[in-house]
Structure 1
Amino acid sequence: MDPRDPAGDPFEKHPYLPVSPLTSAQMMYIAGETQDTSDETTTLIESIIHGQVVHMLTTANDLALRRGARLFTVADLIFQFRHNTPRVDRLRTFLTWKAIRKTVKDADDKDALAAADDEPDVDDGAGAGAIKAIPAVHLPWDLASFFAEQPPDSDDAATATAADALTSGASLEKLRRDDERTRTMTVDEYATWSEYRHASFTWRKVKRFRAWAGLGVIADHRAGDDVLDVLGFVTSEMVKRLTAEAMAVQAREGLGVHVVAVAAATATATAAREKTTAGGLFGGARGEREAVAARHVRVAFQRLQCVPKKRRALLVGTRLPRREELQLVRWLSAVMSGVWLT
């Protein structure tokens, strides 16, 4: 499916589809998959992401019930990947920028009302200070939340914390990767990349996303929370991470490393792989890289489901059963994964 062809999106023609395959293709394009992916691949990715969202909502609802609350909050979602520092930092940056835009918009609205009323007593310094103050994103497990009373300079400390989130290592690393990726792009390619980099399952599809994810059935939240924004951000990141891992699996397959997927590869795929690996001095010319297939996505998801060693318990010689539960798609740095991420 070509993400650059808006007419080829069956999302608008068939309202029963859960999410738009074109949106998945756009997020895969940002992750580095510039080839036309098949409908089977995009459907498989959407199915995996749907399972991840249902798992997150179920866990968030359980956490809210433990507190005695009927509705879950954004903190219940972030708590599930609180140990994933890069993802939390990126989410803090995302929420901070959203709060900044809202603050600036409110300040502009107040200035417009003041200009319409011709009030000469408006304090311009207070308005400028309100815009300069960066809203901080507080989480219940932050150090400041352990104490009932806050020091007098807590506002300055919160502003400094929010500023650190905007210039965190994860944000700077993302900017560096984006600059490296777009350095050799043409004008048209960069325009396409700039358009697709904001693709999300929740953008202009809030009602459909709520029905697809099960919000209101599995769990529910307050209307004013940023739950949909957080879910849209996390699902977009999961699609990119899964695509990058699938491309790494495809690269290993091209180097002669046999990949065993859940479904056996067909003879056509085997012949294409042998044609791709035919290199060397007397080998044929390498053609254009093929698009990521469904088998690559399956193997990538299996690899991402492996529990890190630091989270494993030594159960050798014991009778304790191993709990095999669904793991959230982790975020790894480019150094650890060996591929470019977004």
Structure 2
Amino acid sequence: MDAVEMKRTGDQVDSARDRPETETEQPQLHMVDAGGLPLAVFEWRVSCRGQGPSIVLVHATGFHARCWDRIVRLLPGRHVLAIELRGHGRSGSRALAHWRELGADLAAAGQRLGVRDALWAGHSAGGHAVTVAAALEPSLCARLVLIDPVIFAPEAYARGWNPMAPPPGQRHPVARRRNDFASVEEMVEALRTRPPYVQFDAVTLHDYCAHGLKPAAGGAGFELCCAPAFEAGVYETGASNREIHDAVRSIRVPVTVLRAKEPTAAEHYRDFAYSPTWPALAAAFEAGRDVPLPSLGHMIPMLAPERTAALIAAEADALATVRPRRENP
């Protein structure tokens, strides 16, 4: 970690497993060079590094690393790294042509950070990116938790069918989302009665807003850290990685796949009440485990942070009791 440029954003807290977390605990922010692209990484509990498997968290499209704060505080005494994807949060932005690039960014950042044999958990597009990273650099991961990952059935990629894409010739509607707010409170008020945010855990919604804004380029008020046009571009390239199932088949470590309510119509893939995950995904991994959560929508970590944290903790505990990892051939 010494080679990584660091910026301290809060008091380092010396947490122990038997010490309760407080709302004042804050992570350290590291800006990591990932192939010439600066990625933001928030590190929690530096003092716990090496005392058990590290946990690496990767967020969904349009969100950021601080959306995990609620869950991290439910994982006391554990060393945690939360990485922000390109174009999100405090990370640098670079045009995205192919979803494999998201995973390559993570692999580069993980190597730069010296991550090895960690538990990686990724939500939505973050789950797709974690899968790519695990295939590219097997030494980074000893176990994966994929939370409703955006990985479609093989035939969707073979046909070039992107179920999240808008009609031909149109931009994804998220490109038109509101991008000007006078304050964090105004953003919270604007979102709290709208789906899918209306169902979010209240603390997580506030974290999303509080850490998802930056001073507006025009100088007055605030704008989203993830530009709506960039977010739309991520959805529009959702089926670009036709090699994702090669990555799935190459992974030898245990993988747990959490799946939200299954879609029953094509339009459900554009509805956050449903899962975009291929139902047979877990079976395609050498050591996959399927965990259906039909009572939840796609935003699992925001809807059920306690349940998500408990699942991650159980996987981390399982990792701590077994041989760290099996080599990919």
Query: Same-fold call, TM > 0.5?
Result: no
Q: Which has the higher contact order (CA 8 A, sep 6+)?
A: 1
More strand by share: 2
TM (normalized to structure 2)? Answer: 0.25
More helix by share: 1
